[in-house]
Amino acid sequence: MRTYIDSAFVDEVREADELGLVDGVTTNPSLVSSTDREYRDIIDELDEFVEGPISVEVIATDYEDMLEEAREYDTWGDNIAVKLPMTRDGMRALRTLYDEGIQTNITLVFSVNQALIAAKNGATMVSPFIGRLDDNGHDGVGLIEDIRTVYDNYGFETDILAASIRNPRHVQEVAKAGSDIATLPPEVADSMFDHPRTDGGLEAFLDDWGDRESPALK
Protein backbone atom coordinates (compact mmCIF):
# COMPACT_ATOMS: atom_id res chain seq x y z
CA MET A 1 0.00 0.00 0.00
CA ARG A 2 1.29 3.46 -0.86
CA THR A 3 1.33 5.93 2.06
CA TYR A 4 0.90 9.66 1.64
CA ILE A 5 1.24 12.29 4.37
CA ASP A 6 -1.81 14.43 5.05
CA SER A 7 -0.21 17.72 6.01
CA ALA A 8 0.72 21.21 4.79
CA PHE A 9 3.63 21.50 7.24
CA VAL A 10 6.69 20.80 5.09
CA ASP A 11 8.92 19.82 8.01
CA GLU A 12 6.43 17.11 9.05
CA VAL A 13 6.47 15.73 5.52
CA ARG A 14 10.27 15.84 5.38
CA GLU A 15 10.54 13.87 8.64
CA ALA A 16 8.17 11.18 7.33
CA ASP A 17 10.08 11.10 4.04
CA GLU A 18 13.27 10.23 5.90
CA LEU A 19 11.41 7.14 7.22
CA GLY A 20 10.18 5.99 3.82
CA LEU A 21 6.52 6.91 4.27
CA VAL A 22 6.09 9.61 1.62
CA ASP A 23 4.75 8.19 -1.65
CA GLY A 24 2.81 11.42 -2.00
CA VAL A 25 1.19 14.26 -0.05
CA THR A 26 -2.39 15.45 0.38
CA THR A 27 -3.38 18.93 1.44
CA ASN A 28 -6.73 20.64 1.91
CA PRO A 29 -7.91 24.19 2.72
CA SER A 30 -8.04 23.48 6.47
CA LEU A 31 -4.51 22.07 6.58
CA VAL A 32 -3.09 24.96 4.55
CA SER A 33 -4.93 27.57 6.64
CA SER A 34 -3.36 26.15 9.79
CA THR A 35 0.12 27.07 8.50
CA ASP A 36 -0.34 30.81 7.87
CA ARG A 37 1.70 30.32 4.66
CA GLU A 38 0.79 30.89 1.02
CA TYR A 39 -0.46 27.68 -0.67
CA ARG A 40 1.94 28.14 -3.57
CA ASP A 41 4.97 28.47 -1.29
CA ILE A 42 4.08 25.23 0.49
CA ILE A 43 3.68 23.32 -2.76
CA ASP A 44 6.91 24.76 -4.20
CA GLU A 45 8.81 23.54 -1.13
CA LEU A 46 7.18 20.10 -1.17
CA ASP A 47 7.87 19.77 -4.89
CA GLU A 48 11.59 20.03 -4.15
CA PHE A 49 11.66 16.53 -2.58
CA VAL A 50 8.29 14.79 -3.01
CA GLU A 51 8.31 12.70 -6.20
CA GLY A 52 4.82 11.25 -5.82
CA PRO A 53 1.53 13.09 -6.37
CA ILE A 54 0.89 16.26 -4.32
CA SER A 55 -2.84 16.95 -3.97
CA VAL A 56 -3.83 20.62 -4.19
CA GLU A 57 -7.50 21.36 -3.49
CA VAL A 58 -9.64 23.85 -5.40
CA ILE A 59 -11.48 26.46 -3.36
CA ALA A 60 -14.09 27.24 -6.02
CA THR A 61 -17.39 25.38 -6.02
CA ASP A 62 -18.57 26.25 -9.53
CA TYR A 63 -17.48 24.50 -12.72
CA GLU A 64 -15.74 27.35 -14.55
CA ASP A 65 -13.74 28.59 -11.55
CA MET A 66 -12.80 25.02 -10.63
CA LEU A 67 -11.34 24.58 -14.10
CA GLU A 68 -9.41 27.86 -13.86
CA GLU A 69 -7.93 26.88 -10.51
CA ALA A 70 -7.18 23.30 -11.58
CA ARG A 71 -5.30 24.36 -14.70
CA GLU A 72 -3.22 26.78 -12.60
CA TYR A 73 -2.49 24.23 -9.86
CA ASP A 74 -1.42 21.69 -12.49
CA THR A 75 1.48 24.03 -13.33
CA TRP A 76 2.64 24.24 -9.71
CA GLY A 77 4.73 21.08 -9.76
CA ASP A 78 5.92 17.99 -11.59
CA ASN A 79 3.26 15.70 -10.13
CA ILE A 80 0.19 17.63 -9.03
CA ALA A 81 -3.19 15.97 -8.41
CA VAL A 82 -6.03 18.47 -8.32
CA LYS A 83 -8.50 17.82 -5.50
CA LEU A 84 -12.13 18.33 -6.46
CA PRO A 85 -15.13 17.98 -4.13
CA MET A 86 -17.66 15.17 -4.76
CA THR A 87 -20.31 17.54 -6.13
CA ARG A 88 -22.08 17.83 -9.51
CA ASP A 89 -19.85 20.72 -10.52
CA GLY A 90 -16.87 18.74 -9.27
CA MET A 91 -17.85 15.86 -11.56
CA ARG A 92 -18.31 18.16 -14.54
CA ALA A 93 -14.85 19.61 -13.88
CA LEU A 94 -13.48 16.07 -13.44
CA ARG A 95 -14.70 15.04 -16.90
CA THR A 96 -13.08 18.09 -18.51
CA LEU A 97 -9.81 17.71 -16.63
CA TYR A 98 -9.70 13.98 -17.48
CA ASP A 99 -9.81 14.90 -21.18
CA GLU A 100 -6.94 17.36 -20.55
CA GLY A 101 -4.83 14.69 -18.85
CA ILE A 102 -4.77 16.42 -15.45
CA GLN A 103 -4.54 14.11 -12.41
CA THR A 104 -7.48 14.36 -10.01
CA ASN A 105 -8.29 13.38 -6.44
CA ILE A 106 -12.04 13.41 -5.64
CA THR A 107 -12.41 14.36 -2.00
CA LEU A 108 -15.19 14.25 0.61
CA VAL A 109 -16.36 10.83 -0.59
CA PHE A 110 -18.66 9.06 1.89
CA SER A 111 -20.50 6.40 -0.10
CA VAL A 112 -19.99 3.64 -2.67
CA ASN A 113 -22.24 5.47 -5.12
CA GLN A 114 -20.07 8.60 -4.89
CA ALA A 115 -16.93 6.51 -5.48
CA LEU A 116 -18.66 4.78 -8.43
CA ILE A 117 -19.60 8.08 -10.06
CA ALA A 118 -16.06 9.44 -9.62
CA ALA A 119 -14.51 6.33 -11.17
CA LYS A 120 -16.96 6.35 -14.10
CA ASN A 121 -15.89 9.95 -14.77
CA GLY A 122 -12.19 9.11 -14.80
CA ALA A 123 -10.95 10.11 -11.35
CA THR A 124 -7.29 9.31 -10.77
CA MET A 125 -7.98 8.85 -7.04
CA VAL A 126 -10.97 8.99 -4.69
CA SER A 127 -10.67 9.97 -1.01
CA PRO A 128 -13.24 8.21 1.23
CA PHE A 129 -13.17 9.96 4.63
CA ILE A 130 -13.22 6.93 6.90
CA GLY A 131 -12.55 8.76 10.18
CA ARG A 132 -15.46 11.13 9.72
CA LEU A 133 -17.72 8.13 9.01
CA ASP A 134 -16.51 6.43 12.20
CA ASP A 135 -17.00 9.72 14.07
CA ASN A 136 -20.70 9.42 13.16
CA GLY A 137 -21.07 5.75 14.10
CA HIS A 138 -20.71 4.37 10.58
CA ASP A 139 -18.16 1.85 9.26
CA GLY A 140 -15.35 3.72 7.51
CA VAL A 141 -13.21 0.64 6.79
CA GLY A 142 -16.33 -1.14 5.53
CA LEU A 143 -16.71 1.59 2.93
CA ILE A 144 -13.16 0.92 1.69
CA GLU A 145 -14.00 -2.81 1.43
CA ASP A 146 -17.18 -2.07 -0.53
CA ILE A 147 -15.49 0.37 -2.93
CA ARG A 148 -12.71 -2.19 -3.48
CA THR A 149 -15.31 -4.80 -4.39
CA VAL A 150 -17.11 -2.51 -6.85
CA TYR A 151 -13.90 -1.26 -8.48
CA ASP A 152 -12.61 -4.83 -8.87
CA ASN A 153 -15.99 -6.06 -10.17
CA TYR A 154 -15.77 -3.67 -13.12
CA GLY A 155 -12.03 -3.12 -13.54
CA PHE A 156 -12.02 0.56 -12.59
CA GLU A 157 -8.44 1.89 -12.45
CA THR A 158 -9.21 4.71 -10.02
CA ASP A 159 -7.03 4.46 -6.90
CA ILE A 160 -8.74 4.25 -3.51
CA LEU A 161 -6.99 6.78 -1.23
CA ALA A 162 -8.19 6.12 2.34
CA ALA A 163 -8.38 9.49 4.09
CA SER A 164 -9.46 10.96 7.40
CA ILE A 165 -7.26 8.36 9.12
CA ARG A 166 -7.54 8.58 12.89
CA ASN A 167 -5.14 5.94 14.26
CA PRO A 168 -2.64 3.16 13.33
CA ARG A 169 -5.43 0.56 13.39
CA HIS A 170 -7.15 2.41 10.57
CA VAL A 171 -3.94 2.07 8.53
CA GLN A 172 -3.65 -1.68 8.91
CA GLU A 173 -7.41 -2.18 8.41
CA VAL A 174 -7.56 -0.22 5.15
CA ALA A 175 -4.45 -2.09 3.96
CA LYS A 176 -6.24 -5.38 4.68
CA ALA A 177 -9.29 -4.02 2.86
CA GLY A 178 -7.19 -3.44 -0.26
CA SER A 179 -6.94 0.35 -0.29
CA ASP A 180 -4.37 1.45 -2.88
CA ILE A 181 -3.21 4.37 -0.75
CA ALA A 182 -3.70 5.74 2.78
CA THR A 183 -2.97 9.37 3.59
CA LEU A 184 -1.60 9.62 7.11
CA PRO A 185 -1.68 12.49 9.56
CA PRO A 186 1.97 12.84 10.69
CA GLU A 187 1.18 11.80 14.26
CA VAL A 188 -0.47 8.59 13.02
CA ALA A 189 2.50 7.86 10.75
CA ASP A 190 4.86 8.29 13.68
CA SER A 191 2.84 6.05 16.00
CA MET A 192 2.93 3.19 13.46
CA PHE A 193 6.54 2.48 14.43
CA ASP A 194 5.93 1.87 18.10
CA HIS A 195 5.11 -1.22 20.13
CA PRO A 196 5.91 -1.60 23.85
CA ARG A 197 7.16 -5.17 23.33
CA THR A 198 9.72 -3.90 20.79
CA ASP A 199 11.11 -1.39 23.26
CA GLY A 200 11.09 -3.93 26.10
CA GLY A 201 12.67 -6.61 23.95
CA LEU A 202 15.50 -4.33 22.85
CA GLU A 203 16.14 -3.30 26.43
CA ALA A 204 16.32 -6.97 27.47
CA PHE A 205 18.79 -7.77 24.65
CA LEU A 206 21.05 -4.94 25.75
CA ASP A 207 20.77 -5.90 29.41
CA ASP A 208 21.76 -9.49 28.56
CA TRP A 209 24.69 -8.27 26.45
CA GLY A 210 25.90 -6.17 29.29
CA ASP A 211 28.96 -3.98 28.84
CA ARG A 212 30.67 -6.22 26.24
CA GLU A 213 31.94 -4.40 23.15
CA SER A 214 30.17 -4.94 19.84
CA PRO A 215 32.02 -7.73 17.94
CA ALA A 216 31.96 -5.55 14.84
CA LEU A 217 33.52 -2.54 16.49
CA LYS A 218 36.61 -4.05 18.15
Catalytic residues: 83
Distance in Å, CB of 26 to ligand G3P, minimum: 5
Kindly state the smallest distance separating residue 6's Cβ from ligand G3P, in Å: 5
Distance of alpha carbon 170 from alpha carbon 76, whole angstroms: 31
Q: Does 42 bind ligand G3P (CB under 6 A)?
A: no
Q: Which is nearer to ligand G3P, 77 or 214 (CB)?
A: 77
CB of 183 to ligand G3P, least distance (A): 5
Give the closest residue to 27 by CA, choosing from 61, 68, 76.
Answer: 76
110 binds ligand G3P (CB under 6 A): no
* Number of alpha helices (DSSP H) and beta strands (DSSP E) in the chain: 11, 8
Check if the beta carbon of residue 62 is closer than 8 Å to that of residue 91: no
Q: Could you say whether residue 159 binds ligand G3P (CB under 6 A)?
A: no
The reply to whether 132 sits near ligand G3P by the rule CB under 6 A is yes
Phi, psi of 107 (to 5 degrees): -105, 170
Angle (deg, nearest 10), helices 140-154 and 112-120? 40
Residue with Cβ nearer ligand G3P (121 or 164)? 164
Give the number of residues in contact with ligand G3P, rule: CB under 6 A.
10
Q: Which of residues 2-31 bind ligand G3P (CB under 6 A)?
A: 6, 26, 28
Q: Could you tell me the sign of the dihedral formed by the alpha carbons of 184, 105, 179, 17, in that order? A: negative
Q: Smaller CB distance to ligand G3P: residue 6 or 74?
A: 6
